[in-house]
Amino acid sequence: MSKKTLSTKLRSPALMLALCAAFDTRAQTVTTDDGSTANTALERAVTALVVERTDLDASGAVAPATFGGSEFNRDFLRGFKNDSASRNGHRDYGYLGTECICAVEAIEVLKGPASALYGNGKPGGDLNTIEKLPGLKDYRNISLFTTSPGMTRARLDVADVVDDVAYRVNAQAYTGSTYADLNKRDSVIVAPVVEWRVTRDLKIKASYNGGYVNMTWNPQFLANQALLSVPATRFLGEASNKTRIVDNTARVSLEYQLNSSTQLRQAFFFQSESFSDKGLTYDTYNYALSDLVDAAGNVKRVSQRDRSDQNIFVSQSEILGRTRLASVPLDYLLGVEVGRFHYRYKLEVGSAASINLYHPVYGASMSSALDTLADQAYGTDNVVLYSQNRFQLSQHLRLLLGVRAEHYRNYLQDVGESRSEFSDSLFSPRVGMTYQLHPQWIAALSWTNSSRPQIGAKSATGKLFKPEAGTQTEGSLQYTAPDESLKTTTSVFSITRKNVLTQDLTSPAFQIDSGRRHSRGVEQDLSYSFTPALKLDLSAAYTDASVSQDTVLPVGALLAGVPKWFSSVYLGYDLSPAWSVGAGYVFESRRNATLPSNGVVLPTMSSVDLTATYKTKKWSVDVTLVNIGNRLGYTSDGYTVTPINPRELQINARYKF
């Protein structure tokens, strides 16, 4: 399957303005979801990914789609946890729920000032999802997908335009067995979007993402050498283990063109989700990771039941436009964000039978006597003023100045205890500059500051923690060939995060906010068209992420789960108008599984996927072989260790009707 060009549904002016600081505007022919083409000016991000399963796996910029929970969300960006996202260039918290990738057109990896427009505590980067928007006339698409383990998926994509109203409905249903032993999944998700052109200047858009997931709760693996020695298919829970997720996410936006140079935008986001697990899992409550498996291979387990409920509401009001300030052209964005985040969490555990790691025998039941280990409610309320301004100082020089001022109130209450609250104000500036050295060369420098409240934790004295702060300095050089056959960007960055939680030596069961972490590295992104039919996408990165200050951890200790070396390659070739093939390769170097390190090191991980596509005007068939070498590899979020897919055959057939 050839790698498609990024669709032009980058309709958010906020994102467009943010990207202007680091990237040039270039006219480009793009391919839309219905196969048509159009010329448009596109603010090209460093890394732009089309949401096709093989492309995602090969790119490495997002984790491969999984059979549980969120369908994408790479664990780390530039060495730090990826715990936020944008949607259509606007701040969005859908990543906290079960977002359906069926409604996503593309995923972008934003870097530099563009990633910190909304000050989310991640100056190093962010993910922006571009949803499948309405506007297609009389469009209907159905697809059926199956895998060799026995998972089957059906998707429907229907769109039309009726007078001033355009709609699009995406839906999918999963059922069947995953690659892990005794693991099954059933889920249904529906994602409609409606856009109403009320007048020539006023547009209202409403979208919804909702559904449920019922699946086997798989404890996966942890940083224990014995656990990592067994096949990825090994399941150490019970067939009765259950996970259930019910998600409802709604978005509404109003865009009003005040005049030819000024636009107003009002956006609302609401999410309500419940998540529950119950079954047998590892006993990390009474044993260290290294002691989970005894000499005979018996894995110590507990009965566990946990439930969380979250409710999120966000309102964002923005004005953006173009004017002149002292004869200098200025693109500006001013915004106000009001948000409320509320979480309720309860955890209960009890005794359970062990299971043998090498010869598992299933059938153990949950204990009827469970003790409550946690029962708490926590969250935050915030009000934010933010601004991003781009000045065109000369034909070749652009300056971006941004700032975010936030006031928030965190709260936490354990059942039976008094409520703890903490309020603070944050100020997060950022500056970026680009200079066009040559028609084909652009240089960029940026300094980004961001802050993020820390919720859900308190000190030994019962006080909540001050926010975590981050700063990044970045320089980049971008080259685009005159015929656009070659596009390459080299970036160098240095990130510091302070006020990181670390152990309180006077009260070891609690934490204090005096830790610091540092990440520095070099990244290379390249896209090259050998011919119109043969295209290559390549990404490579060196990241040195370590502890720079802590009460317990040694300075220089490497952060868990972060590979120093990462690379990905995707090569696509159109053999004919009907046939195309592709190959993707991902590599991650060795990395520590935990921090502090317990001696377990995740081995080098590499995987190759192959795909072939046959298509006509009405239908197409993709055949993909995932992990053709059946290599054993793991990804890590710094604690949980997840095996990559074993070798798997996937077939996806699509039909337009």
Secondary structure of residue 617 in the 3-state scheme = coil
pLDDT category at 226 given cuts 50, 70, 90 is: very high
Side chain identity at residue 189, one-letter code: I
Taking 80 as the threshold, does the pLDDT of residue 107 lie above it? no
- Mean pLDDT to the nearest integer, 382-399: 91
* CA–CA dist 10, 583 (Å, integer): 27
Q: Residue 637: what pLDDT?
A: 75
Specify whether the CB–CB gap between 15 and 114 falls below 8 A.
Answer: yes
- Number of Cβ within a 10 Å radius of residue 74: 20
* CA–CA dist 310, 287 (Å, integer): 30
- Number of Cβ within a 10 Å radius of residue 171: 18
Whole-number Cα distances in Å, 518 to 68, 96, 123, 473, 541:
32, 26, 12, 12, 16
Q: Which of 95-104, 136-145, 227-236, 480-489 has the lowest mean pLDDT?
A: 95-104
- Number of Cβ within a 10 Å radius of residue 471: 17
Tokens of 243: 């996970």
- Condensed to tens digits (0 to 9), the pLDDT of residues 466-497 reads 888 888 899 999 999 999 999 999 999 999 98
* CA–CA dist 561, 647 (Å, integer): 23
* CA–CA dist 525, 357 (Å, integer): 42
Secondary structure of residue 290 in the 3-state scheme = helix
Q: Residues 574, 580, 581, 586: what is their CA dihedral angle, to the nearest 10 degrees?
A: 70
Query: Secondary structure of 341-371 in the HEC alphabet?
Result: EEEEEEEEEEECCCEECCCCCCCCCCCCCCE
| End-to-end Cα spacing for the chain | 21
| Greater model confidence, 89 or 641 | 641
- Condensed to tens digits (0 to 9), the pLDDT of residues 511-525 reads 888 889 999 999 998
Taking 60 as the threshold, does the pLDDT of residue 611 lie above it? yes
Cα atoms found within 13 Å of the Cα of residue 246, Cβ hemisphere only: 6
Q: Residue 252: what pLDDT?
A: 95
Q: Residue 96: what pLDDT?
A: 65
Q: Residue 454: what pLDDT?
A: 78
Specify whether the CB–CB gap between 113 and 432 falls below 8 A.
Answer: yes
Per cent of the chain over pLDDT 70 is 84
Taking 80 as the threshold, does the pLDDT of residue 41 lie above it? no
Q: Which of 25-34, 250-259, 613-622, 641-650 has the lowest mean pLDDT?
A: 25-34
- Mean pLDDT to the nearest integer, 622-647: 87
User: 13-291+318-656: which CATH number, 1.20.970.10, 1.10.1740.10, 2.40.170.20, 3.40.1450.10?
Assistant: 2.40.170.20
